[in-house]
């Protein structure tokens, strides 16, 4: 037999068995020919040499055909092994019939065939070989009782024949025992190799699932975990802390995770048990947990395996990233739609803005020759100048929107002192008297800035600060909003600080996302737009808690030119 330890199919195993049988036959035929020569040399009259030799010749031909068939890789049927076992038993009966019958000590060779049947065809071979051997012995005994043997039965076997028979029995059974032991060793090695390959495949699968952030938990029939990966390192700890949450307050978030996970498993178990909404033995539950201070969306997939030793299998998949991607796509689509609408509005606004600017200039020129009190003239001139300047700024913004749509660039605005831009932003916002304090002394040293962009940013920040402190109007504690600046290395930091209630926790981490706002009438685009403008200026915008006392502080960082 081959010592190949790799798995083989049933037909190939039968072919290898026949090749092994053919090799064993050559040794048996050789031993039989030696026995014939010994009988001729010792003149044993109970042996009919011509008939014995003829039987051996027939067996040589049969064995040659068998080798030819197995080496040409012809199909080997399931019953072919039993057929050759029958041929071997028939030859043994033929040889014993012409060599003294069942009283010949060589009849012990029937015991070999029982072992051969087990080696060649397993349990089926044992039963067949045992039955056929008993049938052959009964036939020889019956022939002897009826005096139908072709030669006289052997009465007193020579001692040498007994020695040969016993030696053959010991050697033959020893060889077959070694063969059985070798096969068992090969089977153990093959089983071990199979287990190792299965374990390697399982480890690879678990590593792949872990890389994909998919948790696996497989339970046996008694509810014990038999397979689990570490895709979510907090999962096991969370499940344990779910049972000890009251004893250890520090495990609060993990316990919440564990409770949510266990609750989802219980719901899935109930649905699987009741066959409610079960899709091919699979149900899905979704739940949210707070992990690392971030809310995560987790999907639990419960499977009902068909393996008898496995009761349930659970997969946990973090769907947060997929949901964020989906939300990001929606947001980008909304931004694209908004951008197209803004470009259309910008195009349509150009004409009325130009008209307004022209009429304001005409009105300013017409009033130049009209006699007015100095205070009234100063107020009218300031208002008309502001109207002209703001219509110009609006036209500049619309032109920037249109040019950005064409080539991705935005035109550089006029440059004015930072202090003037800050004061103008307060004036345009229309804040109540003393609601906003502009620290001109801190703003004066910081030179020129892009007036249009910085003005738009500061107006948005001041409007947000005033809205957050609306409830503090007339509280007698001074300005609700303070605007100042300081130098940090080669940068200018402009701060807009209020003394309001601060930022709500759910909004804090999403401040600069489009359409996120705390105001019922807001669009959620103010801070997003301001951040984009700050980046266009080569700076940044950050919003956080106020440094002194409660409230919120927005810091616009600009590179000094």
Lowest mean pLDDT among 82-96, 205-219, 473-487: 205-219
Residues with Cβ within 8 Å of 275's Cβ and at least 6 positions away in sequence, in order, are none
**What would the pLDDT profile of 21-72 be if each residue is shown by its tens digit?**
888 889 888 988 998 999 999 888 888 999 999 999 999 999 888 888 877 7
- Phi/psi at 309 (nearest 5 deg)? -95, 0
Q: What local confidence, expressed as pLDDT, does residue 397 receive?
A: 62
**What would the pLDDT profile of 263-306 be if each residue is shown by its tens digit?**
777 787 777 777 655 666 778 887 777 666 566 778 888 887 77
Q: What local confidence, expressed as pLDDT, does residue 21 receive?
A: 85
Mean pLDDT over all residues of the chain? 78
Q: What local confidence, expressed as pLDDT, does residue 4 receive?
A: 45
Q: What local confidence, expressed as pLDDT, does residue 248 receive?
A: 36
Q: Please give the Cα distance from 539 to 488 (Å, whole number).
A: 13
Asked if 136 and 196 count as a contact pair (C-beta separation under 8 A), the reply is no
**What would the pLDDT profile of 180-197 be if each residue is shown by its tens digit?**
888 889 889 988 988 888
Give DSSP secondary structure letters for 303-360. Answer: E--S-TTEEEEEEEEE-HHHHHHHHHHHHHHHHHHHHHHHHHHHHHHHHHHHHHHHHH
Q: Please give the Cα distance from 279 to 445 (Å, whole number).
A: 71
The pLDDT of residue 245 is above 50: no
Q: What local confidence, expressed as pLDDT, does residue 56 receive?
A: 92
Asked if 119 and 125 count as a contact pair (C-beta separation under 8 A), the reply is yes
For the record, the structure tokens of 241 come out as 């802390």
Lowest mean pLDDT among 23-27, 52-56, 330-334, 477-481: 330-334
Q: Please give the Cα distance from 332 to 338 (Å, whole number).
A: 10
| Higher per-residue pLDDT: 242 or 71 | 71
The pLDDT of residue 405 is above 70: no
| Higher per-residue pLDDT: 228 or 543 | 543
Q: Please give the Cα distance from 146 to 183 (Å, whole number).
A: 44
| Higher per-residue pLDDT: 491 or 291 | 491
Nearest of 405, 403, 283, 280 to residue 338 by alpha carbon? 405
Residues 412-430 have a mean pLDDT of 84
Lowest mean pLDDT among 204-213, 487-496, 551-560: 204-213
Q: What local confidence, expressed as pLDDT, does residue 388 receive?
A: 73
Residues with Cβ within 8 Å of 494's Cβ and at least 6 positions away in sequence, in order, are 418, 422, 443, 454, 458, 483, 484, 485, 555, 556, 557, 558
Residues 65-94 have a mean pLDDT of 82
Q: What local confidence, expressed as pLDDT, does residue 236 receive?
A: 39
Q: What local confidence, expressed as pLDDT, does residue 493 receive?
A: 92
Residues 445-452 have a mean pLDDT of 87
Q: What local confidence, expressed as pLDDT, does residue 240 receive?
A: 38
**What would the pLDDT profile of 369-403 be if each residue is shown by its tens digit?**
777 777 777 777 777 777 777 777 676 666 555 54
Q: What local confidence, expressed as pLDDT, does residue 460 receive?
A: 87
Residues with Cβ within 8 Å of 115's Cβ and at least 6 positions away in sequence, in order, are 173, 176, 180
**What would the pLDDT profile of 362-375 be if each residue is shown by its tens digit?**
777 777 777 777 77
Q: What local confidence, expressed as pLDDT, does residue 346 receive?
A: 59
User: Helix count (H) and strand count (E) of the chain?
Assistant: 14, 12
The pLDDT of residue 102 is above 60: yes
Q: Please give the Cα distance from 272 to 314 (Å, whole number).
A: 12
| Higher per-residue pLDDT: 428 or 351 | 428
Distances in whole angstroms, Cα of residue 2 to Cα of each of 8, 72, 73: 11, 17, 15
DSSP state of 165: H
Instruction: Record the pTM.
Output: 0.44
Q: What local confidence, expressed as pLDDT, does residue 295 receive?
A: 67
Asked if 557 and 492 count as a contact pair (C-beta separation under 8 A), the reply is yes
Q: Please give the Cα distance from 332 to 514 (Å, whole number).
A: 9
């Amino acid at each position: 037999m081959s010592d190949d330890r790799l798995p083989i199919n049933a037909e190939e195993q039968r072919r290898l068995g026949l090749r092994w049988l053919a090799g064993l036959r050559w040794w048996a035929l050789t031993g039989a020919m030696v026995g014939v020569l010994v009988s001729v040399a010792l003149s044993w009259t109970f042996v009919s040499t011509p008939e014995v030799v003829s039987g051996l010749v027939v067996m040589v031909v049969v064995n040659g055909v068998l080798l030819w068939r197995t080496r040409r890789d012809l199909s080997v049927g399931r019953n072919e092994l039993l057929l050759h076992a029958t041929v071997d038993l028939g030859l043994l009966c033929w040889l014993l019939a012409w060599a003294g019958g069942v009283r010949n000590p060589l009849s012990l060779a029937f015991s070999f065939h029982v072992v051969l049947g087990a080696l060649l065809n397993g349990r089926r071979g044992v039963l067949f070989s045992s039955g056929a051997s008993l049938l052959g012995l009964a036939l020889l005994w019956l022939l002897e009782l009826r005096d139908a043997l072709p030669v006289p039965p052997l009465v007193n076997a020579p001692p040498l024949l007994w020695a040969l028979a016993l030696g053959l029995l010991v050697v033959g059974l020893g060889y077959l025992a070694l063969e059985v032991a070798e096969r068992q060793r090969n089977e153990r090695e093959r089983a071990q190799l199979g287990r190792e390959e299965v374990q390697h495949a399982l480890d690879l699968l678990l590593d792949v699932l872990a890389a994909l952030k998919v948790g696996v938990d497989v339970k046996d029939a008694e509810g014990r975990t038999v397979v689990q990966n570490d895709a979510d390192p907090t999962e096991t700890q969370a499940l344990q802390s779910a049972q000890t949450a009251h004893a250890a307050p520090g495990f609060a978030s993990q316990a919440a995770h564990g409770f949510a996970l266990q609750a989802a498993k219980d719901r899935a178990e109930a649905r699987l048990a009741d066959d409610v909404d079960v899709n091919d033995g699979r149900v899905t539950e979704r739940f949210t947990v707070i992990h690392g201070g971030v809310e995560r969306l987790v999907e639990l997939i419960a499977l009902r395996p068909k393996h008898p030793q496995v009761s349930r299998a659970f997969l946990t998949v973090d769907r947060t990233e997929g949901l964020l991607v989906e939300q990001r796509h929606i947001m980008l689509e909304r931004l694209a739609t908004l951008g197209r609408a803004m470009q259309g509005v910008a195009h349509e606004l150009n004409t009325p803005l130009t008209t307004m600017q022209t009429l304001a200039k005409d009105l300013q020129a017409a009033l130049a020759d009209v006699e007015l009190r100095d205070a009234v003239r100063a107020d009218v001139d300031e208002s008309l100048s502001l109207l002209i300047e703001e219509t110009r700024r609006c036209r500049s913004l619309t032109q920037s929107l249109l040019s950005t749509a064409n080539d991705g660039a935005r035109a550089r605005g006029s440059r004015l002192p930072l202090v003037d831009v800050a004061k103008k932003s307060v004036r345009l916002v229309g804040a109540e008297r003393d609601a906003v304090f502009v620290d001109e002394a801190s703003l004066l040293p910081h030179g020129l800035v892009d007036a249009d962009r910085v003005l738009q940013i500061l107006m948005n920040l001041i409007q947000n600060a005033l809205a957050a402190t609306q409830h503090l109007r007339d509280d007698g504690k001074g300005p609700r909003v303070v605007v100042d600046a300081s130098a940090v290395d080669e940068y200018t930091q402009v701060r807009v600080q209020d003394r309001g209630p601060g930022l709500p926790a759910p909004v804090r981490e999403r401040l600069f996302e489009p359409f996120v706002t705390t105001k019922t009438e807001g669009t959620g685009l103010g801070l997003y737009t301001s951040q984009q403008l700050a980046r266009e200026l080569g700076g940044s915008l950050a919003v956080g808690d106020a440094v002194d006392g409660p409230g919120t502080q927005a810091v616009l960082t600009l590179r000094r030119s």
